[in-house]
Structure formats: C-alpha cells, structure tokens
Amino acid sequence: MVTVAGLIFEPDLAMYRRGYTREFLESNSRPIANIGATDRTEAEDLYRRGLAAVPTYEPSAIGLLGLLYDQHRYEEMRRVVQPFLDAGTGGANLRLAAGLAAYRLNDATAADSLFESGLRRFPEDERLEMTNLGRILRRRDSVSYDALSAADRRLTDSSYWEAADPLIETPENEARLEFLARIAAAQLRFTSVDMRQSGWRTDRGLILARYGEPPVIATFASDNAADAAETAGRITTVWYYPRKDRQFVFSGPPAMNYAIFAGPMRGLAEESREDAPFLLDNVIALRAIDSVSVQLSRFRGATDSTSQLVVAHAVDPRRLYGNVDLAEGSLFTSLYIGRPLNMRQVRRDTISVSLPASSMLSRTFVQGVPAGPLRVRVESTDANVSSAVARAHVELDIARARRDILELSDVMIAERVTSTDEPRAGWQSAGIVPRGDLTMTQREPFSVYWETYGLRPTPDQRFKAEVSFKVTLVEIDRANKQGAIRYLLDVADLVGLTREGNEELTVRFTREVPAGTTDRLPMVNTIGLGTSPAGLYRLDVIVTDLVSGQSARSARFFRVARS
C-alpha cells in the first residue's frame, strides 16, 4: 500500500536516482497483512481436490507446488511429488520442483539427483539453452562463449563450475546447485502454459538466475492517472536486493503470470550484468566461503620448466567459530593444485584451535609445479562446526625460466626478519616466514624477499646490481580519520625510504656480492610505513644489472590498516 496520496512508484526514478527504491519502500509504502490469503487457500483446496480425483494429473501438482513454495512449505512439496517419483513418472518441471524442495531442505544429494533427472527430460536444445553460461556472463564474454564449438563449450562449462565450486571437499557443487535451484524456481513460478511461456526465458527468470530470489518483493496496484502511462492498467512489481542497493522493476497485466522489464529497466539489467553478471551473495553458506587470505610466490625450480610455489595462507578463527560453545576446534586445511578440470589434493594439515581464538592462524605449503596455467585452492573446514568453512581460489600462470634475460621471482612479503645475513641458500634457510595475511597495521615493519635470476658477473666474478623499491598509495581508506591527508607521512627509515611526490616512496641502493656457482641471487630487506594512511598499496621492486644494463621488475599489493 502506498501511504502518500497520489504517489506512484516510478521505474525511471528507480534507475536514475540512487536510493530511490529503498526510500520509497521504507517511507512511502507499507505491506498489507495476509493479502491474498483467501485466494491462496481456495486455490490450494481446488488443486488438492483435482489431485484427489486424478492423482496422475501433473498440472494440478505443479500448481500446488507453486503455492507451497511461495509459503516455504517444502516438506509438503516433497509429499506432493513423492507419488510421481515412486511410480517413475513426473515430467521435467515436476522433477525440477522436487529438486527445489530438496535443496531448500538442505538435502544436497537428493537435489542434485532430481535436478539432473529433470534436465534430462527436456529436449536437448532447450536443456542446453537453459544451462547456457552466456546468460550469467558479461556480454563480451557471452559473445566469445557462444562462438565456441559444442565440445569446447562443454569444457568451458565444466571449468567454470569447478572454479565456482565453494568446496571440493564436498561431493556436490554448491554453486551449480544454487544456479539450478534458481532455474527450477523460475520454471515453477513464471511458466505459463496458456501463454506458451517458459519461466526461465522470462525477464524475471533472467534476473533470478543471475542474482537469486530477491529478499524484498513489493507489488503495487495499477494507476489509471492520465500522466501514468507506464503503469496505467498494469501491476508494478519491484525486486529489491538491499545488500547492494540493487533493484529491478517489472510491469504486467493484472491476474496474469506475465511481466516484463518496466521502463528503462532492461538497460539497467545490462549495466548490472557488466558490473556483476552472477552473484551468490544471497546464500549465506556461499557468501562466507572466500575468506582465506593467501599469498602465492613463485621461485625457480630444479629445471627451467618447473617452479617452487609457496602458498602462504591465513584464516581468522574468530569469524569461523564465532560464539561456538567449544573449548577447542579442529580445522582441516587442504591444498589443491592442478590444471583446470584436474585439480588434486597435494597437501593437508590439521590445526588444533584453542577457543575463543584471539589471532589469525597462518600456515605455509610449498609445492613443486610445472609450467603452464594453474589453479590453486586452499580449503579450511571443521566438520563439527557448520560456520567453520573458508577457502581461497586463485588462477595463475607458471612461466618457463628464461636464461637470456634478467628475471625476478615474485615479491614475497614476510614477517620482519631480524637477521641481516644474506639468504644465499633461499628463504627457508634464512628463517623467513611468509605472510598469508597481507594487511599490516600502521607502524608495523615487514620484510620483503625476492630472487634475481640472470645477473652477469664482472671479470672478477662478482654480481653488481642497483635495487629500487617503490611504494605507491593506490587507494586510500576513506574510513580512516587521516583520510583527508593524502600523503605518506612519518616513514620509518629502515632502508632509507624517501618521499617522491604525495603518494610515492622510493629507495635505491647498490648490492655487490660474490657471484657463486649459480646466477640466482636471493635478496631480503625490511621496510615500514610509519603512520602512513590506511589503504591499498603497491610495492614495486626494480633490479638493474650494472654489468649487462638489463632491468627487471616485480610487484606485490598489500594493505595498511589503522592501528
């Protein structure tokens, strides 16, 4: 009910005025209690009487399932579909609805089986179109995807859902299950046989597939005012997603299960597609997944076609365990590495966690890997605590070593090293502890380790190089009290950092050491940023060979948080 006389919800303003939808719903309207309850009760009674008369009449079952789903009566949905499943009957849409009920009841195994069973009952061309990734990709990616051959598209589908899978540890792919649940919900709620309309093909079905069911739905009656051409004689339906202040408005004739984007909303849907083509933030379990901080560092391996990959990671047990009433947790952490569609568990560790926890938990895995594209996954779970679920998923490319040019390894940010000895045997022998969490507090010094390859020796067999550090403020934290001061101030002069401009610090020095038996030169330095403002920073390391004149660069992003 609109509470202000003469006021209507305007789709144009919803698109162009920030906060319009939220303000309208909060200040200018209120819900009407139990609206439609009598009609729902009567419709349910008629559907049940129809099923009692003809138990195998599927349209009656589908109609009843839609009513039950709207009221979150999932156990009753299961009872409605069970006779069909027991008899081995039930078409595609009924089985999708059965999978939807199982999914809402957290029976992932049954949901997975029922969804696949339902999809197999569609004609092949429609099944492929329903599950086509192009609908949940950015437009340019969708064009490339649609140009693939059928075989390549199948590989792309498998690769996409492998990357989206929250936990390899579980037998089901929770991300794909959520996507199929959205398709099933669109089929159940927006399919109209009379209008030859498939629910997943509708505008509402498209938005549901991309962003899930909206937390807030508001339906406004038609307005017959002469100046309300957009809403005259039509129902306006608003879908509002408060987390991102995202809204979509639909318009359709009364008493018909038909609605299309209202006004300029189709354009807004395309804009949203570029910003966020597919979100899973409506699912609490999935929203909590990407919460492992990770730092990947690549160093040369035993051969030119292999590398040593250092996976430093950190999890926050305070978030994982919250207010769980336990004295101790057991966090199982796994490392998966491999080519797309071929990730394998290569490391695992169990950490005993004393509760309540007060600090981050950090671990480091070291693994030899071949050159080429690689996926790296860290998963942490506690089987006894449902909230203790975290992961990190990273895709990178391992390059082959080149002997004809100067090269640098990744820059590794580590805990502060107190020793000043050169780590000639590598980072592990020097006692360097890489950080998984790359957020430092103000005044917190940290060490930087990297390896230089391909330096040319002088005639007396020495390496001579000029090293430059450059620290750049990329993005200031506007929540910081110092946010108005866009300067790097009070630098801790641990390695001679000097200010060059308002947002950049540099240090240059020359390093000369005996050449040794290889062209690999490990280096470590410690820096600090004093009370520089909180925000995102980039650290660049540039090494110039003073013999050959070649230069190489490597960079790492990190954050500074308020003390």
**pLDDT computed for residue 419 by the predictor:** 62
Q: Are 305 and 319 in contact (CB under 8 A)?
A: no
Specify whether 412 is located in the same domain as 375. no
Specify whether 295 is located in the same domain as 326. yes
Specify whether 345 is located in the same domain as 448. no
**Using CA atoms, how far apart are residues 74 and 44, in angstroms rounded to an integer?**
15
What tens-digit pLDDT sequence spans the chain (563 residues)? 888 888 888 888 988 888 999 999 999 999 988 888 899 999 999 999 999 999 989 999 999 999 999 999 999 999 999 999 999 999 999 999 999 999 999 999 999 999 999 999 999 999 999 999 999 999 999 999 999 999 999 999 999 999 999 999 888 999 999 999 999 999 999 998 888 899 999 999 999 999 999 999 999 987 655 445 555 678 999 999 998 889 999 999 987 888 999 989 999 999 999 999 999 988 877 777 778 999 999 999 999 999 999 999 999 998 889 888 899 999 999 999 999 999 999 999 999 999 988 889 999 999 999 999 999 999 999 989 888 899 999 999 999 999 999 999 999 999 998 765 666 778 988 889 999 999 999 888 999 999 999 999 999 999 999 999 899 888 887 654 443 333 343 333 333 444 444 567 888 889 898 988 888 999 998 888 877 788 899 999 999 999 999 999 999 999 999 87
Encoded amino acid at 65, one letter: L
Inside any domain, residue 421: yes
**Using CA atoms, how far apart are residues 279 and 429, in angstroms rounded to an integer?**
44
Other C-beta atoms lying within 10 Å of the C-beta of residue 66: 21
Integer CA distances (angstroms), 78 to 50, 84, 85, 111, 264, in order: 18, 10, 10, 11, 40
Domain span holding position 450 = 403-563
Specify whether 529 is located in the same domain as 504. yes
Specify whether 387 is located in the same domain as 493. no
Q: Are 449 and 412 in contact (CB under 8 A)?
A: yes
Specify whether 411 is located in the same domain as 314. no
Contacts of 227 (CB under 8 A, 6+ apart): none
Specify whether 389 is located in the same domain as 415. no
Inside any domain, residue 264: no
Looking at 376, 401, 426, the residue that finishes a domain is 401
Specify whether 394 is located in the same domain as 518. no
Other C-beta atoms lying within 10 Å of the C-beta of residue 32: 9
Other C-beta atoms lying within 10 Å of the C-beta of residue 107: 16
First to last CA, the chain: 49
Other C-beta atoms lying within 10 Å of the C-beta of residue 204: 23
Q: What angle do CA 433, 381, 362 make, to 5 degrees?
A: 10
Inside any domain, residue 161: no
**pLDDT computed for residue 324 by the predictor:** 87
Q: What is the DSSP letter of 176?
A: H
Looking at 368, 401, 434, the residue that finishes a domain is 401
Inside any domain, residue 447: yes
Q: Are 248 and 216 in contact (CB under 8 A)?
A: no
**Using CA atoms, how far apart are residues 204 and 208, in angstroms rounded to an integer?**
6
Which residues sit opposite 361 in a β-bridge? 315
Specify whether 535 is located in the same domain as 424. yes
Query: What stretches of 31-71 adopt beta strand conformation (E)?
Result: none
Contacts of 551 (CB under 8 A, 6+ apart): 406, 542, 543, 544, 545
Specify whether 376 is located in the same domain as 498. no
**pLDDT computed for residue 224 by the predictor:** 57
Contacts of 171 (CB under 8 A, 6+ apart): 109
Count of domains forming the chain: 2
> What pTM was estimated for this model as a whole?
0.86
Three-state secondary structure string covering 114-175: HHHHHHHCCCHHHHHHHCCHHHHCCHHHHHHHHCCCHHHHHHHHHHHHHHHCCCCCCCCCHH
Specify whether 410 is located in the same domain as 559. yes
User: Could you tell me the CATH number of the domain that includes residue 549?
Assistant: 2.60.40.3880
**pLDDT computed for residue 60 by the predictor:** 95
Burial of 143 (0-12, 13-18, 19+ CB in 10 A): exposed
CA 233 to chain centre: 41
Peptide bond into 356 cis (omega under 30): yes
**pLDDT computed for residue 229 by the predictor:** 54
Helix (H, G, I), strand (E, B) or coil at 8: coil
Looking at 401, 432, 451, the residue that finishes a domain is 401
Q: Are 166 and 288 in contact (CB under 8 A)?
A: no
Specify whether 419 is located in the same domain as 483. yes
**pLDDT computed for residue 420 by the predictor:** 57
Closest by CA position to 96, among listed 124, 134, 65, 68? 65
Inside any domain, residue 454: yes
Q: Are 477 and 448 in contact (CB under 8 A)?
A: no
Inside any domain, residue 162: no
Q: What angle do CA 386, 387, 393 make, to 5 degrees?
A: 110
Inside any domain, residue 221: no
Inside any domain, residue 466: yes
**pLDDT computed for residue 159 by the predictor:** 94
